[in-house]
């Protein structure tokens, strides 16, 4: 359709493209500064590919101390571009908001939590939902006394409790570990039991009751004299979508043990919860959301983006903005695409960064300056996986970088929309 026929629907202070974690944070930061904010997104982000924890850095000692060192050492790392103070502000806002929706996170002071995975490996993370945090077996009294019970569900191929136990045993030889599987009523027409289905089941008290009674039946006599219960029960992370904290508490009460979720293969339920929570939060905060719409073009004048054109089910519409945030993700999120053998950022055709850390597994990304501005436009800010210079998987910083850079980009965009310099918050 010729550009002149595209209807200009609305104008905003800040337009965020992308509805993953970094886009959510950017929108929240701009909205917190009383700007009018629009989020346009083609998909729903890659949060369900993550564990739903907030990784800051893999460092087993103190992730925040490691972060300070990293910012000194690697000026092109997205954390450095956001700045240490903004990282703290963003993460504080993230944690506070999650808590206010009844989904609090926990941490281990001065170190990373080490949480069990579905393979029985240990994974460092800085903040975990409380439904997972009891899985941190390192710093508990379990090392001297107590039992961890890993429970699977018969028919759930994505979680094998025996494998988890053996993996954990090699890594935590002093912890007493047991495993069992519970048969639950499952949808007969399904070949595999989807985690999503189980999560909706665990939202219901009667299903939790049934689970607890079947688990107890399968354990009867298992824990011998004087003890009838394990201390910690590790479960697949399917304890509900509506109120997982209440579901976990209910199970803890029924089982007389602490309960901890272990994230499954994607889509992970904890990731889905976060995506739902943040969508709800933005709507409540007065952010407009246009989902299932792809930005197919943009207009600019004198080095500033003036509008974007988004194609959705109802046709193509134009949205004007004073500042823009690009939060479209990396390869997995479709923020980068391949044309021939060339990687490209398809919305603004931004310049790709040279590999600044060859050999480290840092993925491809766009070039961005110290204020997260890609060269070429004064009122555009980039955040999240589209940035270069880091390896979210080996460094364990994916969601941390998304929160930090998203928050900072939103602050800067809000400042830009106001006509002022910087983001209002000084570093």
Partner 1 sequence: MSEVVIIGGGATGVAVLRDLALRGIPAVLVERDDLASGASGRNHGLLHSGGRYAVIDPVAAAECAQENAILRRIAPWAVEPCGGLFVEVGADDPGYVPEWVLACRKAGIEAEEISPQAALEQEPRLNPGVVRAFRVPDAAVDSFRLVYGTAAAAQSLGARVYTKTEVTGLVVEGNRVTGVRLADIPTGEQWILDAELVINAAGAWAGRVAAMAGISLPVVPDRGTLVVYNSRLANRVINRLRLPGDGDIVVPVGTVTIAGTTAVSIDDPDDTRVPPAEVEQVVALVAQMLPELKDRRRLRSFTGVRPLFDPGEAVDAGTDRAGSAAGVSSLATRQLSRNYAVIDHARRDGVAGLVSLLGGKLTTHRLMAEKAVNLAVARLGVRAGCRTATEPIPAPPPVREERTTAGGGAIVCECERVPAEDVLQVAQGLARIDLGVLRRRARVGMGTCQGAFCGYRTVGILHSRGLVEGLQAETLLCDFLRERLRGMGPAPDGYQLRQAELARAIYTGNLNLDLGTGKGGS
Interface with partner 1 (CB under 8 A)? 46, 49-51, 58, 117-124, 155, 157-160, 162-163, 165-167, 169-170, 188-189, 191-192, 263, 265-266, 268, 330-332, 334, 337-338, 341, 343, 359-363, 391-396, 398
Residues 6+ apart with CB under 8 A from 246: 102, 240
| Tokens 């491809």, residue located | 364
Give min distance, CB of 104 to partner 1, in A. Answer: 22
8 A C-beta contact, residue 352 and residue 320: no
Give min distance, CB of 159 to partner 1, in A. Answer: 8
Other beta carbons within 10 angstroms of residue 45's beta carbon come to 29
Of 325, 342, 323, 306, residue with least CA distance to 384: 325
| Tokens 């901890």, residue located | 260
Q: Which is nearer to partner 1, 129 or 415 (CB)?
A: 129
Q: Which is nearer to partner 1, 304 or 357 (CB)?
A: 357
Q: Which is nearer to partner 1, 316 or 399 (CB)?
A: 399
Q: Which is nearer to partner 1, 6 or 237 (CB)?
A: 237
Q: Which is nearer to partner 1, 236 or 415 (CB)?
A: 236
8 A C-beta contact, residue 48 and residue 268: yes
DSSP 153-200: ETT-TT--HHHHHHHHHHH-TTSEEEEEEE-----TT-SS--HHHHHH
Q: Which is nearer to partner 1, 121 or 143 (CB)?
A: 121
| Cα 374 from Cα 296, distance rounded (Å) | 19
Tell me the chain's radius of gyration from C-alpha atoms.
Answer: 23
| Cα 23 from Cα 95, distance rounded (Å) | 16
| Tokens 């800010």, residue located | 381
Give min distance, CB of 365 to partner 1, in A. Answer: 12
Q: Which is nearer to partner 1, 332 or 425 (CB)?
A: 332
Phi then psi for 49, rounded to 5 degrees?
-85, -15
8 A C-beta contact, residue 135 and residue 262: yes
| Tokens 């949060």, residue located | 47
Token pair of 405 as six digits: 């850079």
Q: Which is nearer to partner 1, 32 or 49 (CB)?
A: 49
8 A C-beta contact, residue 202 and residue 208: yes
| Cα 156 from Cα 214, distance rounded (Å) | 16
Q: Which is nearer to partner 1, 224 or 359 (CB)?
A: 359
Bridge partners, 176 (sequence order): 147
Give min distance, CB of 47 to partner 1, in A. Answer: 11
Of 366, 315, 368, residue with least CA distance to 336: 366
By the 10 Å C-beta count (0-12 exposed, 13-18 middle, 19+ buried), 72 is classed as: exposed
Give min distance, CB of 418 to partner 1, in A. Answer: 36
Give min distance, CB of 331 to partner 1, in A. Answer: 4
Give min distance, CB of 330 to partner 1, in A. Answer: 7
By the 10 Å C-beta count (0-12 exposed, 13-18 middle, 19+ buried), 311 is classed as: middle
Q: Which is nearer to partner 1, 52 or 423 (CB)?
A: 52
Give min distance, CB of 161 to partner 1, in A. Answer: 8
Give min distance, CB of 160 to partner 1, in A. Answer: 3
Phi then psi for 187, rounded to 5 degrees?
-70, 120
Q: Which is nearer to partner 1, 33 or 123 (CB)?
A: 123
Give min distance, CB of 173 to partner 1, in A. Answer: 13
Give min distance, CB of 316 to partner 1, in A. Answer: 24
Token pair of 339 as six digits: 């044309």
Whether the bond between 267 and the residue before it is cis, its omega within 30 degrees of 0, is yes
């Amino acid at each position: 359709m010729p550009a002149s026929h595209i209807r200009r629907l609305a104008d905003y202070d800040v337009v965020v493209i992308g509805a993953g974690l970094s886009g959510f944070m950017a929108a929240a930061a701009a909205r917190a500064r009383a700007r009018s904010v629009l989020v346009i997104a083609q998909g729903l982000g890659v949060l369900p590919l993550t564990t739903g924890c907030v990784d800051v850095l893999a460092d087993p000692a103190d992730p925040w101390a490691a972060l300070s060192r990293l910012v000194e050492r690697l000026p092109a790392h997205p954390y450095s571009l956001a700045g240490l103070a903004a990282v703290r502000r963003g993460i504080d806002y993230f944690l506070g908001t999650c808590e206010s929706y009844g989904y609090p996170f926990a941490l281990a002071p001065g170190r990373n939590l080490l949480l069990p995975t579905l393979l029985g490996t240990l994974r460092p993370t800085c903040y975990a939902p409380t439904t997972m945090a009891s899985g941190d077996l390192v710093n508990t009294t379990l090392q001297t006394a107590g039992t961890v019970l890993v429970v699977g569900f018969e028919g759930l191929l994505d979680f094998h409790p025996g494998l988890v136990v053996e993996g954990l045993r090699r890594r935590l030889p002093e912890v007493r570990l047991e495993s069992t599987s519970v048969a639950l009523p499952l949808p007969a027409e399904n070949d595999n039991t989807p985690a999503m289905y189980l999560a909706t089941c665990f939202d219901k008290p009667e299903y939790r009751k049934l689970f607890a009674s079947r688990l107890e039946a399968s354990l009867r006599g298992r824990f011998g004299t004087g003890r009838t219960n394990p201390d910690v029960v590790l479960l697949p992370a399917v304890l509900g979508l509506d109120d997982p904290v209440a579901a976990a508490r209910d199970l803890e009460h029924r089982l007389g043990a602490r309960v901890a979720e272990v994230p499954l293969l994607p889509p992970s339920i904890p990731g889905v919860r976060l995506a739902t929570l943040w969508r709800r939060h933005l709507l409540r905060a007065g952010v407009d959301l246009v989902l299932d719409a792809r930005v197919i073009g943009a207009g600019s004048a004198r080095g500033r983006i003036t509008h974007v054109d988004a194609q959705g089910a109802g046709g193509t519409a134009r949205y004007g903005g004073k500042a823009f945030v690009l939060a479209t993700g990396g390869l997995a999120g479709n923020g980068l695409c391949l044309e021939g053998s060339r990687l490209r950022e398809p919305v603004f055709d931004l310049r790709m960064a040279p590999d600044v850390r060859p050999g480290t597994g840092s993925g491809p990304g766009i070039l961005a300056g110290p204020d997260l501005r890609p060269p070429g436009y004064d009122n555009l800010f980039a955040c999240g996986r589209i940035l270069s210079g880091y390896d979210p998987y080996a460094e364990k910083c994916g969601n941390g970088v998304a929160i930090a850079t998203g928050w900072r980009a939103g602050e800067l965009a809000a400042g830009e929309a106001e006509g002022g310099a910087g983001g209002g918050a000084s570093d």
